[in-house]
Amino acid sequence: MKNLVVFDLDGTLLYTLEDLKDSVNYCMSHYGYPKRTLDEICSFVGNGVKQLVKLSLPEDITETQFETCYELFKNHYAEHCCDKTKPYDGITEVLKRLKTEGKKIAIVSNKFHDAAVEVCEHYFKGLYDMVVGESETVRRKPHPDGIFKILETLDIEKKHAIMFGDSEVDFKTSANAGIDFVAVLWGFRDEKFLRANGITSMIHNTNDIISIVNNN
């Protein structure tokens, strides 16, 4: 039985693509670059917003142009990150159930730490014990820094922890940290892609989280 449940944020707990797309395309329109589709944004996410912006921009832009666009994106997304974002169906109920059962819940994200905290407080206030985002002391996933910080802070051994995420980045993060991993199939990567990246443990339904946590 697991005592600590670690969740990825975007694509696992929250559907965030629409707000990410809107902020990207706000920047594209502002500077006269081609807009990106939702499918393109979906394929670009997973390695932090800096990489999202880099992949969204034309390949021939200068570093100065990138930095200017990136700053504009950050400012716009900070103001609009909760416009269309919402928890996946059943997620809030699952978090409540896990808390009722006495589980520790942590969230590790490639968002900058302050932004991750703000979003988690907006949607899941009181339903988690700890959230860790990218910072000067915590490298973004797939580095295991965030999970190591969670394990140390909550004083829980690796064998008692499990991670749920929607991407190959989350899978690599859990492997690097040495904890069990289960992929969710309602996020930003499909089953074919996940299997091609070596992932075999997957779930289709949020309710499956409870049984997996209690039977591992």
The CATH number of the domain holding residue 92 is 3.40.50.1000
Summarised one tens digit per residue, pLDDT across range 57-91 is 999 999 999 999 999 999 999 899 999 999 999 99
CA atoms within 13 A on the CB side of 4: 26
Tokens standing for 20?
């990410």
pTM: 0.93
The domain spanning residue 35 has which CATH number? 1.10.150.240
Give the pair of three-digit tokens for residue 167: 């991407």
Q: What is the pLDDT of residues 129-164, one digit of tens each?
A: 999 999 999 999 999 999 999 999 999 999 999 999
Enclosing domain of residue 135 = 4-15+85-214
Domains contained in the chain, number: 2
Of 129, 191, 139, 88, nearest to 5 by C-alpha is 129
Whether 92 and 164 map to the same domain: the answer is yes
Which one of 60, 80, 100 terminates a domain?
80
